[in-house]
């Protein structure tokens, strides 16, 4: 069940009414209702994989409780069990075939062919999201940053909360779990802001992402038939597609949660306005990048190490980030590309600061130049993310940098102008909480003109329905 479908338009109002008017008497009743609702929501994809969510929740709930009264040796064993189960489930469903195939191909280099049996299965939707969420809880309890909860229903609600169950944000127990342990009350201002987030998210998904998808799919499938300038536009369109798709999902999820009295963390903060790659990763998929920072990068030593070790730490984090996105060499290369580019950014940061012109942070021309360079690097990297194989990715890039790069692009130029105009709106809203955070506009009439105008765009200019990209991760 996707957020932008008739099914969900029927499902959620029923949930909303029951949540606030029937099950609002006690915290326990609300939490049990949310768990049942979330499991029902997930079952629309495949009810068989509900057992994985249940087992992951149950194992980490009891492991965390056991950590409170265990010796140091036992604590390490318990957290090891949690790591083994959660990462093991991801490995089997997501990476087993990938590593077996890679291992087999490595033997072919030595003229030693080996046979293997691959596993045929369907990847459980959202497995990388909810396993990372429950795993972070166990690790935080192990580190004694939080106390293990004794409330099984609030914990199960924390793991399975349906707005962010299948594509994040990847929440931390320090933020989300306490909200399920106290009474929730309907707040009009929070609900209104939730509706604005949902509207903005639907606009990003249905108008920007789904229309971009129609163009991008055709260009990547037939890149040999188009000019370099058209393919360059296609890469840019994919950048907007994945941004509109994923940030749109996050906005809708956060908005739905607010209608239910729950605050989820911000997952995107106008990332294409970033002035360097360090800033980009502080603004893009914030819940995942902060997860890798806290549970991988900092334990490896962070930036308080030698320059050689720093390079290793950054590469490890981004290679893992690439693998998290999928079992394909294209994702590994995408992560490696970002890792190398980020290392260059880190080591040249001090040099750039020594250049007088870059010391003026209020210089809009310099800022636009830095934003343009960062966006260009990110766009090149997106080609590897979108391509099916490395051969296709390099072929696409090679086709871009042909003499036809300087020709007039084919296709809908008006939509490209529309996207540039949208970026102008983001630039204007860059210091606000989200796209439709327009409370600063004094005229209520003008605010509603903006809302109804965006609603009109959603209904009349929505592209063909496309599955959210991050559902595959």
pLDDT range class, residue 168, cuts 50, 70, 90: confident
Tokens of 75: 């604590």
User: Rounded distance, CA 101 to CA 118, Å?
Assistant: 8
- Is the pLDDT at 362 greater than 80? The verdict is no
- Mark residue 183 as left, alpha or beta (left: phi above 0; alpha: psi -120 to 50; beta: remaining): beta
Residue of 461 and 71 predicted with greater confidence: 461
Provide the 10 A C-beta neighbour count for residue 29: 14
Average pLDDT over residues 277-303: 94
User: Rounded distance, CA 385 to CA 379, Å?
Assistant: 10
CB 160 within 8 A of CB 43: no
User: pLDDT tens for residues 84-106?
Assistant: 999 998 888 887 766 666 656 55
Is 126 buried (19+), middle (13-18) or exposed (0-12) by CB count in 10 A?
buried
Angle between helix axes 364-386 and 228-259 (nearest 10 degrees) is: 90
Q: What is the DSSP string of 56-115?
A: HHHHHHHHHHHHTT--HHHHHHHHHHHHHHHHHHHIIIIIHHHHHHHHHHHHHTTT----
Percentage of residues in the chain having pLDDT higher than 70: 92
- The chain-wide mean pLDDT, for the chain, equals 89
User: pLDDT tens for residues 277-286?
Assistant: 999 999 999 9
User: Rounded distance, CA 160 to CA 166, Å?
Assistant: 9
Peptide bond into 169 cis (omega under 30): yes
Tokens of 163: 């707005």
Give the burial string for 67-101 (b: 16+ CB within 10 Å, else e): beebeeeebeebbeebeebbeebbeebbeebbeee
User: pLDDT tens for residues 196-243?
Assistant: 999 999 999 999 999 999 999 999 999 998 999 999 999 999 999 999
Provide the 10 A C-beta neighbour count for residue 301: 13
CB 166 within 8 A of CB 126: yes
**Residue 302 CA, distance from chain mean position:** 22
Q: Which residues are part of the catalytic machinery?
A: 325
User: pLDDT tens for residues 123-167?
Assistant: 788 899 999 999 999 999 999 999 999 999 999 999 999 999 998
Q: Which residue has the tokens 């369907």?
A: 122
CB 413 within 8 A of CB 230: no
Q: What is the DSSP string of 151-178?
A: -HHHHHHHHH-GGGTTT-----HHHHGG
Q: Flag whether the pTM goes above 0.75.
A: yes
């Amino acid at each position: 069940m996707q957020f932008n479908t008739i099914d969900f338009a029927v499902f959620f109002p029923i949930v909303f009414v029951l949540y606030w008017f029937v099950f609002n008497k006690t915290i326990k009743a609300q939490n049990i209702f949310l768990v049942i609702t979330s499991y029902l929501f997930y079952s629309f994809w495949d009810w068989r994989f509900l057992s994985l969510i249940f087992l992951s929740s149950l194992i980490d709930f009891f492991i965390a409780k056991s950590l409170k009264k265990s010796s140091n040796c036992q604590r390490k064993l318990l957290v090891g069990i949690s790591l083994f189960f959660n990462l093991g489930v991801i490995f089997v469903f997501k990476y087993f075939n990938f590593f077996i195939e890679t291992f087999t191909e490595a033997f072919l280099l030595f003229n030693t062919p080996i046979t293997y049996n691959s596993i045929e299965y369907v990847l459980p939707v959202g497995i990388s999201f909810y396993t990372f969420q429950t795993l972070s809880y166990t690790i935080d309890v192990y580190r004694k940053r939080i106390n293990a909860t004794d409330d099984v229903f609030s914990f199960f609600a924390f793991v399975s909360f349906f707005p962010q169950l299948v594509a994040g944000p990847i929440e931390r127990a320090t933020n989300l779990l306490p909200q399920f342990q106290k009474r929730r009350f309907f707040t009009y201002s929070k609900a209104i802001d939730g509706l604005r987030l949902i509207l903005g998210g639907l606009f990003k998904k249905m108008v920007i992402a789904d229309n971009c998808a129609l163009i991008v799919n055709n260009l990547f499938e037939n890149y040999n038939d188009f000019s370099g300038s058209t393919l360059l536009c296609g890469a840019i369109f994919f950048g907007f597609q994945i941004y509109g798709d994923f940030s749109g999902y996050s906005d809708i999820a956060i908005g739905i949660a607010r209608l239910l009295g729950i605050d989820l963390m911000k997952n995107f903060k106008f990332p294409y306005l970033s002035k360097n790659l360090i800033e980009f990763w502080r603004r893009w998929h914030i819940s995942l990048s902060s997860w890798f920072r806290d549970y991988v990068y900092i334990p490896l030593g962070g930036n308080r190490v030698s320059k050689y070790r720093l390079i290793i730490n950054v590469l490890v984090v981004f290679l893992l980030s690439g693998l998290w996105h999928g079992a394909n060499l294209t994702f590994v290369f995408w992560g490696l590309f970002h890792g190398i580019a980020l290392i260059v950014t880190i080591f040249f940061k001090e040099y750039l600061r020594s250049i007088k012109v870059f010391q003026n942070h209020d210089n809009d021309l310099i800022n636009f130049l830095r934003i343009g360079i960062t966006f260009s690097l990110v766009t090149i990297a997106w080609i590897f993310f979108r391509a099916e194989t490395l051969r296709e990715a390099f072929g696409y890039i090679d086709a871009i940098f042909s003499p036809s790069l300087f020709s007039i692009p084919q296709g809908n130029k008006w939509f490209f102008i529309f996207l540039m105009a949208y970026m102008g709106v983001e630039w204007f809203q860059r210091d606000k909480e989200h796209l439709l955070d327009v409370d600063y506009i004094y005229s209520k009439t003008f605010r509603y003109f903006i809302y109804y105008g965006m609603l009109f765009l959603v209904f009349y200019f929505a592209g063909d329905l496309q599955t959210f990209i991050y559902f595959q991760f």
